A and B are shown apart, each in its own frame.
Chain A
Amino acid sequence: MRAGSELLIDILTLALTHGLMAIAVWRLLWREDLGLDPEDLAAPRRPWLRKPANVEDEAA
């Protein structure tokens, strides 16, 4: 293979995979579930401050 062809393949390969990595990292920036799983995100932040359901019923 000629050096020119090899250089072209090198550049195209780097552009393809690095482009995909850049898109992936960009998308990760905006994903809340990177730090917490969806089920953890849905859970209340301070569960100890929330009254259990049966206590609320008794109060009513």
Chain B
Amino acid sequence: MLDLALLAFVAMFLAFGAKRPFIWVLAYIYIDCVAPQKIGWGLIQAIPLSLVAFVAAFGGWLLFDRKRGTRFTLRQAMIVVLLVYCAWTTTIADFPVNALAKWDWVWKALLFAIFLPLTLRTRLRFEAVTLIMVLALGTIVINGGVKTALGGGGYGTLALLVRENAGLYEGSILSTAAVATIPLALWLARHGTIFKPDWRVWTFVAGLIFASLLIPIGEAARTGLVCAAFLAVLMLRSAKRRFLYAGLGALALALAVPFLPQSYLARMNTIEDHSQDESASTRVAVWMWTLDYVKTHPFGGGFDAYRSNSFTYKMPKVTGSAGNEHVTYEIVTDKARAYHSSYFEMLGEQGWPGLIWWLVLQLLGVWQMEVIRWRFKRREEGTASWQWGLATALQQAQLVYLLGAAFVGIAYLPYMFMLVGMQCGLWSYVKRTTQEPAKATFMRPRAQIVSAAV
């Protein structure tokens, strides 16, 4: 029954695209985020939904969409270069079979990030993409949030819609993505035209934000907690009433702490003291191994190069009651530990050129969004304009992602590359629809010179 319902929903998406081909782009985003083929059990798993939606989206754009004013931006070109570079490192990968398996989804994420900005030509399209991204992620977030609220959480035990611990369904990744999506949901609540801002929209967004903040608790993901705190600070920068906002935030935190489960608080305490936590200890060991690895492999080892790592170390273990603690050291050997950091993931897999290229790509996005903010703040509409709001939301989302990326291997996460695609689209849109302020000049305009001479 669920299978048929999901299939009918996808079919509806694709059928509506026959009238408005842009809807096929939205269909791809929905399928890529929610992965309905993994939720269903039978027929839906047999159909290559993602491929069908992408072919439809690209074909629809190529054959039916207007191209006037469409620009290919610098960052899209950078993604093309990254795509080609990753293809090359895949051919020389240490683990060719594993590398090919990862390449199979990475190239799609990069290609879609290159393609998406070409379709974003109107304000409504930006809103539609944002809405589908928020609702698609909301499907997983609300599900996890409700289950957490009803006591179903725990590290690695929160059952989401699928029995798979990968992509957006993995705890730390979902926590980062959920927190990064909060600014986008708020932008929709303020500037939405598909669902105009009213009490129903605000109620839904408030619920979604609450569920997003419950995900790090339900998943006991330390990354999510750090990201949420960072987002609170970032939002302070754009808030009108900063002191009221900061006071309410502190009050909400003080009220929430007593209701947090002990297991969660115990895990969060390991952020400060990670020496007894195997997960944190091995991360540091893997990062050191990666730095050593690129000394002999400056161009990286291709996807999944971490599989060759192996290290033995001593880990302290405290036993006994308080005041009578006994510390013993256990020798732990780990093999093929994942990077647990996007920065080291890029470094180990793509080497120094790949990491630098990826960093420039990301930081250029932060800078471009800042330029848009700066430009619109000085206009008549100021911070009330939708462009200023969207640039701010995309910048906050990306900064949260870049922080979360320090602890999770999400360098090529398709959801985040969609945000990069939106940034490219917004940058191109703003360039096309607004005039840049005239540059300062020390020469008088020709007309004035002529009139002065007369």
Contact = CB atoms under 8 A, between A and B. Distances in A.
A10 B152 CA distance: 13
Contact of A36 (B6, B13, B122, B142): B122
A13 B137 CA distance: 11
B139 interface: yes
B23 to A, nearest CB: 6
A26 interface: yes
Contacts of A34: 20, 22, 122, 124-125, 128
B161 interface: yes
Contacts of A18: 9, 139
A17 interface: yes
A18 B2 CA distance: 12
Contact of B139 (A17, A28, A33, A36): A17
Interface in B142-183: 142-143, 146-147, 150-152, 159, 161
B132 A24 contact: yes
A33 B16 contact: no
Contacts of B16: 25-26, 28-29
B408 interface: no
A56 B359 CA distance: 57
Contact of A28 (B20, B152, B204): B20
A10 B161 CA distance: 6
B112 interface: no
Contacts, number: 97
B53 to A, nearest CB: 13
A22 interface: yes
A21 B30 contact: yes
A5 B159 CA distance: 12
Interface residues of A, number: 28
Contacts of A12: 146
Give the secondary structure class of A's interface: helix
A35 interface: yes
Given A35-B122, A37-B123, A37-B433, A25 B26 contact: yes
Given A28-B194, A36-B122, A13 B131 contact: no
Give the secondary structure class of B's interface: helix
Interface string B1-28: 0100110010011001001101100100
Contact of B122 (A6, A23, A27, A33): A33
A42 interface: no
A56 B5 CA distance: 61
A12 B211 CA distance: 15
Interface in B79-128: 121-125, 128
Contact of A35 (B12, B66, B195): B66
Contacts of B351: none
Interface in A3-48: 5-6, 9-14, 16-18, 20-29, 31, 33-37
A17 B121 CA distance: 26
A6 B132 CA distance: 24
Given A29-B16, A33-B123, 20 more contacts: A1-B147, A12-B146, A14-B5, A16-B142, A17-B135, A17-B139, A22-B9, A24-B131, A24-B132, A25-B13, A25-B23, A28-B26, A29-B19, A29-B20, A31-B124, A33-B122, A34-B124, A34-B128, A35-B66, A37-B121
3 closest A-B pairs by beta carbon, nearest first, are: A1-B152, A13-B143, A17-B139
